[in-house]
Copies of this chain bind each other. A is one copy, B any other.
Amino acid sequence: MTEIPFVTNNLWVLIAAMMVFIMHLGFATLEAGLVQQKNTVNILFKNVMILCIGLLTYYAVGFNLMYPGSDYTGGFLGFSGFGLTLPEGVAGLQDYADGKYSYYTDFIFQAMFAATCASIVSGAVAERIKLMPFLLFVTLFVMICYPVTGMWKWGGGWLNTLGFVDFAGSTLVHSVGGWGALAAIILLGARKGKYTEKGVRPIPGHNMPLATIGAFLLWFGWFGFNGGSVLSADPGAVSLVFVTTCLGAAAGALTTFVVSYLKFKSLDHSMVLNGLLGGLVGITAGADGFTPGSAIIVGAIAGAIIPFSVVFFDKLKLDDPVGATSVHLACGVWGTLAVGIFGTGKLIPQLIGVVAIGAFTFIFAYVVLLIIKKTVGLRVSEEMEIKGLDLTEHEMSAYQNIERGNYALMVSE
């Protein structure tokens, strides 16, 4: 085929960046829908701040940790200086990335990815974490932890040298968020009343339309997340990625539907939404390499994992209000291994990648959160938890369900 013009490649990666941006609204609405009404403003506030902090720290530090330049090939850690400055030897915006996209395009696409892993954590720790300590953790997590492990593969580091494959980030983004979430919920403990002597008491989300909007917007954004990770507008590659991504998501939702119907005799809508998302996470590591048929199998298995994983974490009394550990950690690990099974045929590098990145991320998150816990504290008081974080942290309610007319009457007395 003739070479794809620079401008076309660049345009597609920019559009993909826009699409990944909208995933942040997807996370915000999904998580808001799946928590209790009294903690809705809090989770929305966190999701806005995560994105903003993520973009600014990735500009200042993260991008330069994750892509320190070719000198660091094979390495564990590198840094190319603060802020956005064109790499040495690059004459202009367009003399970059083998002429596939501009330096700023590269930055904005990667920056949109960076904040997603912190958004994953925010759902799992919802309804009981203190706001300011959480934002402190998120800042360090996005600024340091995510770019360091990201460099190991995408920045040309040692996992890349080893042959580890993770196309769009089942491990580098999703399981990183999942490991951070796991460390946090271990240190935080479960919400009051979740695990009782009589067993697990489900605490249902307060707004299913909102959660559904979230799941659909995440899928929508995933066209950019996976499709943009081709890093070019190559017609065959991008169209294959669209097909595998969608078939994986569809198969995930369908098997979760069937498995949870057989297992629980119920048609739980939020479970099916998580199945859909599990399918997306599962397909992400190999979306460019699976056949459509394999994509259906990989997504279907991811969807089947979800109900079992949810039960598993509940058995360990690890309370995750939105199921983020099941969706992003369990299915992220599965998807990464699936590349070794259905794609490259090499399982060992995949296992090494999963374990190395998991260990680093979990330890980083655990240590940072432990220090925060021992100093400023991590968890809100029991009173705040009962009253809800909207009133106690924000002095607001998510909804003003005031009878028609009465409120105006009241204020005009």
Q: A-side interface residues toward B, CB under 8 Å?
A: 1-2, 4-8, 10-12, 14-15, 17-19, 21-22, 24-25, 28-29, 32-33, 36-38, 40-41, 44-45, 47-49, 51-53, 55-56, 59, 83-84, 92-94, 101-105, 107-108, 111, 131, 191-194, 196, 201, 203-210, 212-213, 215-217, 219-220, 223, 227, 233-236, 238-240, 242-243, 246-247, 249-251, 253-254, 257, 266-270, 272-273, 276, 292-293, 296, 385-388, 390-391, 393-402, 404-405, 407-413
Cβ-defined contact, B45 with A269, below 8 A: yes
Q: What separation, in Å, do the CA atoms of A388 and B403 have in the docked complex?
A: 10
For A108, list chain B residues within 8 Å (CB).
Answer: 239, 242-243, 246
For A210, list chain B residues within 8 Å (CB).
Answer: 209
Q: What separation, in Å, do the CA atoms of A108 and B245 have in the docked complex?
A: 10
Cβ-defined contact, B257 with A49, below 8 A: yes
Oligomeric state, in copies: 3
Name the CB-closest residue of B to A36: B407
- Whole-angstrom distance from the CB of A403 to the nearest CB of chain B? 9
> Which 6 residue pairs spanning A and B have beta carbons closest together?
A193-B411, A104-B239, A193-B412, A52-B250, A93-B236, A25-B216
Name the CB-closest residue of B to A265: B395
13 A-B residue contacts at CB 8 Å? A1-B94, A2-B5, A10-B235, A25-B217, A83-B293, A84-B243, A84-B292, A102-B235, A108-B246, A193-B413, A204-B400, A207-B398, A208-B397
For A213, list chain B residues within 8 Å (CB).
Answer: 25, 29, 213
Cβ-defined contact, A396 with B93, below 8 A: no
Name the CB-closest residue of B to A112: B246
Q: What separation, in Å, do the CA atoms of A52 and B53 have in the docked complex?
A: 35
Cβ-defined contact, A251 with B8, below 8 A: no
Cβ-defined contact, A239 with B36, below 8 A: no
Q: What separation, in Å, do the CA atoms of A12 and B193 have in the docked complex?
A: 51
For A273, list chain B residues within 8 Å (CB).
Answer: 48
Cβ-defined contact, B239 with A402, below 8 A: no
Q: What separation, in Å, do the CA atoms of A273 and B270 have in the docked complex?
A: 28
For A206, list chain B residues within 8 Å (CB).
Answer: 399-402
Q: What separation, in Å, do the CA atoms of A397 and B257 have in the docked complex?
A: 18
Give the contacting residue for A386; candidates B47, B103, B194, B412; CB below 8 A: B412
Cβ-defined contact, A37 with B404, below 8 A: yes
Give the contacting residue for A52; candidates B1, B37, B249; CB below 8 A: B249
